[in-house]
Amino acid sequence: MAEVRCILDAKATLGECPVWSAEEQALYWIDIMAPALNRLDPATGATRSWPLPDTIGSFGLRKRGGAVVALRNGLHLFDFDTGRLTFLTHPEPDKPGNRFNDGKVSPDGRFWAGTMDEESLSRPSAALYRLDPDGSCRRMIDGLIVSNGLAWSANGRTMFHSDSKGQRICAYDYDPETGDIANRRIVAQPSEEIGRPDGAATDMEGCYWSAGISAGVLNRWTPDGKLDRQIPLPCVAPTMPCFGGPDMRTVFVTSLRHHASDQKLAAKPLSGGIFAVEVEVPGVPVAKFKG
């Protein structure tokens, strides 16, 4: 049984999007509902927070410093030193019932971010977008309910993506030269009991680690769709894993307290915290946005 440690009892309303900075040996993460971008030094426990003016769905670190952030009112660049936001684009100004959700930088330095139907969690009104370094934004997948689970294989040639409410994990051929995707296939269709797919990360063996938000577990799926490993977590609902640590063999997992009943929170009081578990296979590093 894997040992799961709570490294920060953050009590986040909706903790999400952990991103590891190898240069700083630090973990960045967000709280969607109490909008802020946060930083944790796992070695010392030191924390820092940058409040944001609007709901944040995801972000990526930038090669030039700072971050690219997906707020309710669109995509922006963020300066850690000044706290300044620079607006880039808003691809869904005509859909006030949607907000940005899961996002990640692809190995070639593009930022991918999807939206979700926040009002009813049932309408296929959401989409997945690709933000290129030149600032152009393109809709890549339509007809989603809750876009989630972005991750890439170690060679950058396979992109994974899930629709949490569609309850399917898909893979696509990925072209790092153009950022195009093709040849969609379903990898897995997890049940509520196995764990509805939320955020995700990949390891160097090509396996896909998915936060099973409905089951309180971390699931490892093989490339051919077999559930290879399941790690129970001491929280009601894990939201997203990422690999980090000096050897990239630590999986950090964010979680939420949002909508959890008092009874469930009493049973799992660390919900909303950030957890760490050591694994044997190192993870695939996440790139930085080149824009």
Q: What is residue 224's DSSP assignment?
A: T
- CA of residue 211 relative to chain centroid, distance: 9
For the beta carbon of residue 28, count every other beta carbon within 10 angstroms.
22
User: Positive or negative CA dihedral for 16, 243, 237, 273?
Assistant: negative
Q: How far apart are CA 146 and CA 118, in angstroms?
A: 8
Active-site residue, from 102, 117, 198, 203: 198
Counting every residue, how long is the chain?
Answer: 291
Of 141, 100, 93, 143, the residue nearest 118 (C-alpha): 100
Instruction: Mark whether 198 is an active-site residue.
Output: yes
Structural tokens at position 11: 């009590």
Q: How far apart are CA 188 and CA 221, in angstroms?
A: 8
Q: How far apart are CA 32 and CA 25, in angstroms?
A: 23
Residues recognised as catalytic: 198
